[in-house]
A and B are shown apart, each in its own frame.
Chain A
Amino acid sequence: MSEQGTGRMTPIGLHRALDAIWRAPKGLAAFSTVNHSVVGRRFIVTAFVFFAIGGLMAMLMRAQLARPQNPFLGPEVYNQLFTLHGTVMMFLFAIPLIEGVALYLLPKLLGARDLAYPRLSAFGYWCYLFGGVAILASFVFGVAPDGGWFMYVPLASKAYSPGINADVWLLGVTFVEVSAICAAVEFVVTVLKVRTGGMALHRMPLMAWYLLITAAMMLVGFPPLILGSVLLEIERAFGWPFFAPDAGGAPLLWQHLFWLFGHPEVYIIFLPAAGVVSTLIPVFARTRIVGYAWIVAAIIALAFLSFGLWVHHMFTTGIPHLALAFFSAASTLVAIPTAVQIFAWTATLLKGRLHLSLPMLYLLGFFSVFIFGGLTGVMLAIVPFDWQVHDTHFVVAHLHYVLIGGFVFPMLAAVYYWLPLMTGRLPVFSVSRTAFWLIFIGFNTTFLVMHLTGLLGMPRRVFTYEAGLGWDLPNLISSFGGFVMAAGFAVFTLDLVLQFRFGRRFRRNPWKGTTLDWAMPTPAPSYNFAALPRVSSRDPLIDDPDLGAQLARGEGYLGRVRDGQMETLGVDMATGEPDQIIVLPQNDYLPILTALSLAIFFGCFLFGFYAFSPVGLGLAAVCVWRWLWSMGAKNDGEPEAAGLGLELPLYHSAARPPVWLGLIYFLVANGTFFASLLFGYLFLWTIAPNWPPPRMIEGGIGLAVLTASGLILSAVSAGRARALNASARPGRDLFQALAGIFSVLGGAGLVAILIMAAPPPTGHAYGAATAALLGYGFLHAGVGALFSAYAVARGQAGFISPVRATDARAPALWHAYTAVCALAGLVFVYGLPLAMGGGA
């Protein structure tokens, strides 16, 4: 039944056999596609469409600001425009474009056939699309968010933004963030686990390192924003005053949560672009990158530093100067890992033999614009300077220099570099160069002079200004430059169309790239590699320029078709030695159905049908149940031949299957969310005005002890079920059921405390924050009960064995996590009133 392809089939025959399994379906069935190349392309195209829309909004704003007292737009429309421009560019263009590029490229760079969770990427795409379309649709109906992309409270609170504008932002962005978290988990697990044989960590292409660190930052960077959005939406919907100062809330808490996300976000955007630079420069300098280890160290350092800087967005909020000094110094420190990278690139350029190809032209644009933006960034990190130019057009100019210079230019270089992989054609050069110069000159005309506008005192986010303040001419120049840049992007689009239509065809590897993404025929086939290579260095195509042809002949790992299954390798995280065969899921409608269920949930919330919103969650739970159920097997099976003389277990019988790792990294993100919640609780208690609250928690200590015991017993029972399974003793499903029952009891206990002992959540921020902590525990206890029910069903159906243990291990981990969080929550709720003596 299983066919050993090596040597038996011709390359064409092997291609046809593999393509028949991997090819994306046409027509309506396209909604079920999960292939990473297709989903990646969808992300990229959608992101560029949103980019065009965001750009048009910018053009409207520049038209308005071209002259003083311009009657073209009123503040209502203008405020929606700048809010949407920032939101679209950050959440609907930059991050999704990174996700799309990573989705498309990662498996190709890593020598794999797909990502760890193809269905999760498809689900992420639908979440992104639905959330993004909802945000833009609101503009058509005139109810778009208008409180700035940073949504500062109290301006975004119900009292000052009574319409649904702010809800559109909070719910739409959170919906899109679901896809970001999914992508982050997906990328971390894929880079660590789904590579080809022999690709040890130190042999990974630098781009994979950049995307790994980026994804790790997304795991911890996005949860604070999601928490902030959830709390603000709860405040707006149910009146829990987390941020309202007259009821003990703290407007600054929002700013902390927002910038705790918002600053790492800048590096999340920059790192993949820097990865492009690190990938392209050695290729076009015909040499190897200088300082591989230094660059890896620099991006890890950058990731850590970026989480210690958020306060530099809040220098003018009256925070004590000593704290400002700390964050100012930390902010300037970022210059060091950035400088290490810039000098590594420069040294590589100096060592090589260069020629000015098109992607290189965009990289030169990147160097000049980004370094300039970085230098104004250092200026802004200097507190007294920041006090002067904060919230002026100087900052607008700075951030465009950093984001367009540091992100858009490298991404355009990446488009020109990798598009031939997608299309099999090379660009038509003269048009491409015209596009570059229009964009480059237009950009600098717009934003260089804008520094001056800011220094002359023009604040941000004003829809008009008075004549005679010296702002007239610089604004006119900026508007002019903006339109030149827009024309440049129009030419760029035209160029892409021309390339698709008339580009010159080529055989293989037109740029002489050294990484595995060029070891495949072009356009890239649906399955990427007919066989997965054995890798022994960082530049496999330097070692063996003929590698692509060998792989096409099926010489390598898994160079076969077996039972119509989609296979790729799983490897040891550090050494890259293969340790399992991953069988990937077929096309499936569950991703879009799950996303639609969530859309029902968010839609009900948006229009105030709160009672119906659980319906969406229930449907989503059903989808997820069926989704998980489709994995695994009912018997252990023997190790299978994987090619090159290797025998490997299938994923469900391996010690570390991808789904297990995925749960761990999801809990990392979830734990960050909970830590942010604890931070918020302490922040309110110590900083917010109008404390102590009129009433604190009273009584219920006995109930709290019972609740805690219930949740601990649940964790212990699930652990016991896991241990019984591991040693093949009876009673596994019984203890799993017990874990579920204890979980339900624990969850009920938390609700009882909330109702009987805690003050109502609507009166004071104390009650609201307490309810949020207890509610978090309740939610996790509930999911834990479902988890146990699922594990019992799986056990009864025969999916669990000592070897196929994931379904027994996962609930144990979940219940342990829940118990720890609930205990921490109860300690905060009952301990703080004692420790703080009734509030500061």
Chain B
Amino acid sequence: MIAGSAVILSGVLGLIGYAFLNRDGLRDVPDRVWLIGGGVGFPMVVLTALLAWALPTGESMTGARGEVYEVQAEAYQWGWRFSYPDGAPGETGSEAGVLYIPAGEPVDVAVTAVDVIHAFWIPRLAGKIDAIPGQTTHLRIQADEPGEYRGQCAEFCGLGHAGMNFMVVAYAPGDTGAAGEGDER
């Protein structure tokens, strides 16, 4: 997408630069070629191709719910509480602001907020989704490799917004140890 943009930008700027040379080369191109070809035809082709790629991609990122491991994330001013499907209360996460997920499989995060609007975002794993009081939104994430990932609030939420981070720990499949660590307390 970025490479394509660079090509379009330099193409148009090249044309304008050419105009300043005051050569006659393109003077006789009929107006209609520029207006219909450049103004309508060209963006139509590019945009259709772009949307054809983007819409299915976006669809796959929301996914059908209920088939995969689902965790709950609750945002407050200024921190995150997490809870897990086996009924274990998310106290583990709430103290440390740590979310435990299995690596190598998709995980749905059900996100909500108790006070103002926040947004749940793990830059290296997925896009972001708003945490809105009074409703629940969903995001599918997947950590391909076990490890730690940085997460943060992405919607301005007041004085503590800049420090509203959390940590995601992705544990190896079948290794309950990582999740168990939290449960021990």
Contact = CB atoms under 8 A, between A and B. Distances in A.
Interface string A348-371: 011111101000000010011001
A432 interface: no
A346 interface: yes
Contact of A340 (B40, B128, B158): B40
Contacts of A690: 134
A371 B115 contact: no
Given A160-B115, A290-B35, A324 B58 contact: yes
A294 B35 contact: yes
A64 B146 CA distance: 36
Contacts, number: 216
A390 B129 CA distance: 10
A371 B132 CA distance: 35
B116 to A, nearest CB: 4
Interface residues of A, number: 80
Contact of A252 (B13, B132, B152): B132
Nearest to A249: B134
A331 to B, nearest CB: 10
Interface in A342-395: 342-344, 346-347, 349-354, 356, 364, 367-368, 371-372, 375-376, 378-379, 382-388, 390-392
A317 interface: yes
A79 B159 contact: yes
Contact of A392 (B115, B126, B154): B154
Interface stretch (B17-25, B67-75, B80-88, B171-179): B17-25
Contact of B156 (A76, A342, A460): A460
Contacts of B1: 379, 382, 385
A154 B156 contact: no
Chief secondary structure at chain A's binding surface: helix
Contact of A350 (B5, B18, B155): B18
Contacts of B26: 350
Q: Name the 7 nearest CB pairs between A and B, nearest first.
A: A387-B127, A245-B134, A318-B137, A340-B39, A457-B123, A343-B38, A349-B19
User: Which residue of A154, A298, A392, A460 has the most chain B CB atoms within 10 A of its CB atom?
Assistant: A154
A628 interface: no
Interface string A469-484: 1000000000000000
Contact of A391 (B47, B128, B132, B160): B128
A713 interface: no
A459 interface: yes
A451 B30 CA distance: 38
A344 B30 CA distance: 11
A364 B16 contact: yes
Contact of A390 (B22, B47, B127): B127
Size bracket, chain B contacts: 35 or more
B167 interface: no
Interface stretch (B48-56, B89-97, B100-108): B48-56
B134 A465 contact: no
6 contacts: A155-B157, A160-B77, A346-B34, A349-B19, A353-B22, A367-B12
B134 A346 contact: no
Contact of B27 (A147, A318, A325, A351): A351
A145 to B, nearest CB: 12
A318 B12 contact: no
Contacts of B44: 336
Nearest to A457: B123
Interface string A707-745: 000000000000000000000000000000000000000
A154 B39 contact: no
Nearest to A351: B27
Interface in B27-48: 27, 29, 31, 34-35, 37-40, 42-44, 47
Contacts of B38: 339, 342-343, 346
B21 to A, nearest CB: 9
Contact of B134 (A246, A354, A379, A385): A246
A75 B160 contact: yes
Interface string A267-302: 000000000000000000100001100100010000
Nearest to A461: B156
A384 to B, nearest CB: 5
Contacts of A603: none
A346 B132 contact: no
Nearest to A156: B116
Nearest to B134: A245
Nearest to A247: B134
Contacts of A317: 130, 132, 137
A214 interface: no
B168 interface: no
Nearest to A319: B137
Contacts of A460: 156
A291 B9 contact: no
A391 B155 contact: yes
